[in-house]
Copies of this chain bind each other. A is one copy, B any other.
Amino acid sequence: MATTETQTWQLIASTYRNQTTAKLPSAWLVPTSITSTISETSSQNVLEIPRTCGILTEKELEITEKYDAVTLAGLLARGGLSSVEVTEAFCKRAAVAQQLTCCLTETMFDEGLERAKYCDDYLAKEGKTLGPLHGLPVSLKDSFNVKGVKSTIGFVSFIANEPCTTESAIVSILLSLGAVLYVKTNIPQTLMTADSQNFIFGRTLNPNSLHLTAGGSSGGEGALAALKGSILGVGTDIAGSIRIPAYCNGVTGFKPSTRRIPYGGQTGPGRVGSWALLASAGPLCRSVSDAKLFCESVLSKDCWQFDETAISAPWRYLQPQGKRLKLGYIRELEGWPLLPTIARVFDTSLKALTKAGHQVVDLSPLLPKDIMVDAMVVSFKMFSLDPKKTPWQNIAKSGEPLIPSINTIVVDGLDKFVPDLDSVWEMNVAAKAIKEAVRDVWVKEGLDAIMMPVHQSTAPKHDHYGAPPYTVFANFLDYPSVSLPFLKANKKLDEPYIRKDVTYTPTYEPEAIEGAPGGFQILGRNMRDEECLEVAGVVESILRGV
Contacts and interface: CB of A to CB of B under 8 A. Distances in A.
Interface of A: 271-276, 304-305, 308-309, 311-314, 316, 385-388, 419-422, 424-429, 432, 435-436, 439, 443, 525-528
Interface on chain A toward B: helix, strand, loop, or mixed SS? loop
Contact of A424 (B304, B424, B432, B527): B424
A443 B302 CA distance: 10
Contact of A420 (B388, B420, B439, B526): B420
A308 B527 contact: no
A-B pairs with lowest CB-CB distance, top 7: A273-B428, A312-B527, A273-B425, A308-B439, A273-B429, A313-B313, A305-B443
Interface centre among A271, A274, A305, A308 (most CB of B within 10 A): A308
Contacts of A443: 305
Contacts of A528: 312
B421 A526 contact: no
Contacts of A308: 432, 435-436, 439
B304 A272 contact: no
A311 B526 contact: yes
Contacts of A428: 272-275
A424 B425 contact: no
Contacts of A311: 311, 313, 526-527
A523 B305 CA distance: 17
Contacts of A436: 308
Given A272-B428, A304-B439, 8 more contacts: A273-B425, A273-B428, A273-B432, A311-B526, A312-B525, A312-B526, A388-B422, A421-B421
A315 to B, nearest CB: 12
Interface centre among A273, A276, A314, A426 (most CB of B within 10 A): A273
Nearest to A314: B316
Contact of A421 (B316, B387, B429): B387
A272 B305 contact: no
B312 A387 contact: no
A439 to B, nearest CB: 4
Contacts of A525: 304, 312
A309 B439 CA distance: 10
Contacts of A420: 420-421
A526 B275 CA distance: 18
A273 B426 contact: yes
Contacts of A424: 273, 275, 385, 421, 424
